[in-house]
Structure formats: C-alpha cells, structure tokens
Structure 1
C-alpha cells in the first residue's frame, strides 16, 4: 500500500507529477536504505491506475533531506529528457524560501 497522501500531489498529467516533499524524505535511494520518494510515487501510481508492470518515475531535480518543497517528477522517459534539457538550458526556474528566527545580518 502506498504511503503517499493524494493531497501531496500538487499537479499531475500524463507526463509529469509535482509533489510536495516533506522534510526528512529522501528523493532518490542512498546508503541509508530508506525508501525514496521516487519509489513511493511509483507504488502510488501502480495502485491509483492499477498498472500491472513497472512504473517510470524520473527525478528531474532534488531537494536535500531536511528540506520541504515542490518537486517535479517525469512520468515518461521523453518528459524526463525534455525537462532535463530545460534544467540544463536554465529554462527551469526554482524559487527558494526560508523560515528564519531573525532577519539575517545586512552585508
């Protein structure tokens, strides 16, 4: 059973999925052996669409483990290739927001 709450899916079409990554989740597998978000999303799609075979879920970009935010995943190889090109060509915009206890010092 998938551990993904459908409310975390910010956008989905046939090609891409945008998901709200929670703090402490990993995006791709690492040496910890923790289940990565990409694998949880594959399971979510298998269950949602009752897919019998493998599900493709390409990681377009990552956020560090302690960070939360919107992540874009490709649902097809073609979408992953095009999104990787957009990142490489700087056509892919990212905005970072931070919550701080006090204003940073002015430089």
Structure 2
C-alpha cells in the first residue's frame, strides 16, 4: 500500500508542478497573460503541499526521488500538451530516472 500511495502522490505532485510551470510558460512566453501565470503559481504552491504528504519522512530522499518522476512526467506532458516527440535517448533517460526513483524510495533499509 505504501508503494501505491507514494506513486500516486508523485503523479499528483508532477501534475501540479509541471502543469504550474507550463501555465507560467504559457502566460509569459506565449503571451497568454496574467491569468495563466497566476494559475501556474497556485498550481506550483499545490505541488509544494503535495510533496509533504509522502509517507517517507526524509525531505532530501523524497525530493531526490521526485526528480526522476519530474523528468519522465515532463516528457509525457510535452507529448500530450505540446505535441513533442521524444527520441530514444529521451525515453531511455526517463527510464533510467524512474529506475532511480525505485532505488531511492523502495530499496531495503535498516
């Protein structure tokens, strides 16, 4: 159950952070205006809150592992939202990052 909760919280955090950053990008770089920027800022704040809900008590471990989720999630977001086509190196890199997430979060420890 801890694995499912951890994974779900990582996905929720990725949606909030990547979505928030995308909204800010749209507001500034694509000239879509202040409402996009403000929506992005709210979403980025939500990301910060979601990260605190992880069952592991170690900030550094949670954020380090989340980095791998962020990498894979950012590529997936680009595919869905922007029509980005990742190449084999993008995919391989994302898989390496996700393997790192598994090692960091779920390796047996004393």
- The alignment's TM-score, normalised by the length of structure 2, stands at 0.32
Q: TM-score, normalising length from structure 1?
A: 0.32
Q: Which has the higher strand share?
A: 1
